[in-house]
Structures are given as C-alpha cells and as structure tokens.
Amino acid sequence: MAIPTASYSITVRLEVPADAAAVGRLTTAVGKAGGAVTALDVSESFPDRIVLDVTCAASDQSHAERLPEAMTAVDGVVIKKVSDRTFLLHLGGKIEVTSKVPLRTRDDMSMAYTPGVARVCLAIAEEPEDARRLTIKRNTVAVVTDGSAVLGLGNIGPAAALPVMEGKAALFKRFADIDAWPVCLDTQDVDEIVRTVQIIAPVYGGINLEDIAAPRCFEVERRLRELLDIPVFHDDQHGTAIVVLAALTNALRVVGKDLAAVRVVVSGAGAAGSAITRLLLEAGNTELVLCDIDGVVHPGRDGLDPTLVELAGRTNPGGLTGTLKDALVGADVFIGVSAPDILDGDDIATMAEQSIVFALANPVPEVDPAAARRTAAVVATGRSDEPNQINNVLAFPGVFRGLLDAGAENIDLATEAAAAEALASVLSPQELNPSFIVPSVFNPDVTEAVANAVRKTVQRRGAGRDVDAEVTGIPMPKAGRT
C-alpha cells in the first residue's frame, strides 16, 4: 500500500467507551487498515463515553473512505461525522484581499479614496511609470490559466482550475511576499487569451502563465512577450526547467561528471520537456537527445511540428534514431517529463555507470524509483514522499521576486540559468549526497538566493527599470509642482 499522506487526511468525530483501552483499540484498528493517526482530540467527555476527533492520513481517496469502516469494527465505536481535511481547507477559498492602510477616520478615507486619490490619479496620467510605485503594480502578479492542462488532471476548465491557481497565489505570498491573483479564462482560443491578458496587464508587474496545454502555451507566451513590457513566465515550462537544471547541477557534482560532457536523454517534448532542453543547451550541454511518444526526435523524422523541427536541429548530434529505450543505452542522464511506467529497472541498467535518473511524471513516475535506484547513482522524482523532489516552488517565487525588484521588462534564458545556478548553490558541497541534491522548499535562503541572482542578471542585461529612483520623491501633477 502507498504511504499515507496529508493530501488524503480525514477527521472522524466518534464516540468510544470511557475505558482506558478503548482509544488504544481504535488507533490499532486504524494502523492495521494502513492509516496513520496524526491527532486525537477529546471534544466532549461523559461518565460512560468520550467524543473524540480522530485525524488520520490515508494513501488515496478510496483508502480514506475505508478507514471509518475499520473504526466502526471496534466494539463500542459510533461514527458521528467524517470530514475531509483537504476540502475543509478549501472552504471559501484560500486567499483574500486585505487593506495595507488604516481606514479608521474621515481623514484616512479622504486620502485613500476620494477626494485625495484624484491627485494620485492625475500624477499617473501624466507619468504612467509612476503606477509602479503608487499602486499595487510593483508587487503583483497575474496567475493566468485556461484550465486546459491542470496538474495531472487534463482539460478540466477554468472553474475547476481555480483551486490550483488560488494555491499558486498563496505560495507566491508565503515564499516571496508577492501579491498574486488567479485569472481563470473561459476560453481556449489563443487570440482571446492573448488579448485578454494584454488588456488587464496595466494592473500587474508580471504574468505567470499556468496549466495551459502545449502547443497553445508556446504561442500564447511568445505573443505576450512581444506585446507586453512586463515579464511573461510560463511556470510549467521555465519553472520546471530551472529546478531541473539546479538539481542536475548538484547531481553531477555528486557523481563527479560535467554537464558539458554527459549525454542527456529527455523524455517528453511538451511544455516542460522543450523548456528543459533549451535551458540545458543554454547551460552548455552538447549531447542531448530529445524523445517523445514516437521515439527519438531527429531532423529526418516525418510529421514534426515547428517546435520539434527547431529542437531537432539543435539536439541529437550523434544522429540517433529509434525508441526512448534505444536512446537510453549508455546515457549518463535520464530526465522524464512524460508518462508513467514507460521504463523499468532493466532499462535503467543499460545506462552508463553512475547514472542520474529524474523520473518526474506525477503522481506515477516514468520508472519505479526503487527499481531505478538499483543501478542509478542519483534518483529524483516529482513526489513529496521520495527523496529529491523536483518542485517548481523552489524557483518561481524567487524568480518573480527578482523580476519585480528589478522592474524587469522580460526574462530570458540567461536569467533562468542564473536562477538555476543560485538555487543549486544554496546547498554546500558538504551537504550534497545522492539523496539530497535540492534544498527544502522551506529553506529561507532559497527565495533570497534566486531573487538576488535574477535581479542582478536583469540589471546587467539592462532589461529593467531604476526601481530605487522610482520609490523616492513626492509625485505631483505638473500644475502643482514648483
């Protein structure tokens, strides 16, 4: 049975007899059913019985539904209520808007709103760049989706995507103190998506595209980058690529190999796979083979779309053809962002000595991690219950913090590579080992390191604004200036 997780945790309110052994029998029953009791709280007590709130973790939805049945099998236990803790957490949504200024008196109101606010409006009308220091723009990101590729759930639409976008906004606030807001669009037309984002862009300092299916996501991002003077970042592409490059940098240090010399096989040529490929090439790898559902991508293969034609011309210098398994023979690194269970331990055994396996399909990886570890030196997944989790939250908060602080107009591959290098450097050489190649998402150094690297790179490229100058002085309409 899979490991119990908080994602499928429940709280069960029940009655048990008021004898010393009753609670022990209850927790034993949960344990035998494969659950993990994480909390016991007495809500009421009577001479002959007690009312308990029992919180326990399960491995999946059906397992969570079976745990109360195991509890009722204990003599004297009566179930009163079962609550799904994940659903409870989402009740009413996960984010809110709060005021940063007091609104206690008439003076407060007259400055925050009318009539005082009119002076600020006129200042921005005369100097539009003043919006960056006089409104929420300088610290606000739009999290934009069309609901077409939500997590591993597929095309579930904008309303069903909203809980994910709320979660993304909450992560922005928690890890980088950025105010982000979900923008879930009820269209999957490229022109409509682009135009909608374009006309709401004045509010925001950056656009985070999220869970938009390939190949539509490529065109949406390209066109918005051409139209807007704020950075547009598709996290499924670039956030994933940054964390993969950082993790690979440290994994190569563990096994004593160099990025420029290793042969890398990437499985999956969609949004994440394409971005990983481009960033690895930017970082100096010269022996990369890209594979999709039809096998090795190469210039002679029929039916390649324009994106794959471009990547075919930049990868696979040895001219390999055939299947993913063919390409894997002798490879140093496997990076999977594709589909579950497409490889087994025997396939990993055909790789080079001291191989590295990143099996990132979620929740079921391309190869069973335990099978991969029989021959691979370093194994990473996208799962939280395995070592070396490749998690985008290691990248996007710091990336946007740096972009906003620099007043960035765009982001490029050099900036992404700098972010990856900074993320990798959070771990010292003494900390690195096969089971620890990326820092914890709760490491306070992560966001700061990534943000500083991004800000410095943007400033060095001359692709930002003089933010320090923007936050000094008192803006006034020209008619009122002396």
- From 32, 80, 81, 113, the catalytic residue: 113
- In the numeric block, the tokens 């083979």 are attached to 289
Q: Residue 433 gets which letter from DSSP?
A: B
Cα torsion angle, 438, 443, 448, 449, sign:
negative
Catalytic annotation present for 8: no
- In the numeric block, the tokens 């037309």 are attached to 189
Catalytic annotation present for 94: no
- From 137, 168, 204, 257, the catalytic residue: 168
**DSSP sequence for 318-382:** T---S-HHHHHTT-SEEEE-S-TT---HHHHHTS-TT-EEEE--SSS-SS-HHHHTTT-SEEEES
Residue type, 276: I
> How would you write 139-154 as a 3-class SS string?
HEEEEEECCCCECCCE
Contacts of residue 370, defined as CB under 8 A and 6 or more positions apart, other chains included, come to none
Among residues 252, 247, 164, 172, which one has the least CA distance to residue 205?
172
Burial of 344 (0-12, 13-18, 19+ CB in 10 A): middle
Task: Please check whether residue 388 is in contact with residue 379, taking contact to mean a CB–CB distance below 8 angstroms.
Answer: yes
Q: How far apart are CA 60 and CA 64, in angstroms?
A: 6
Residues annotated as catalytic (active site), given as ranges: 113, 168
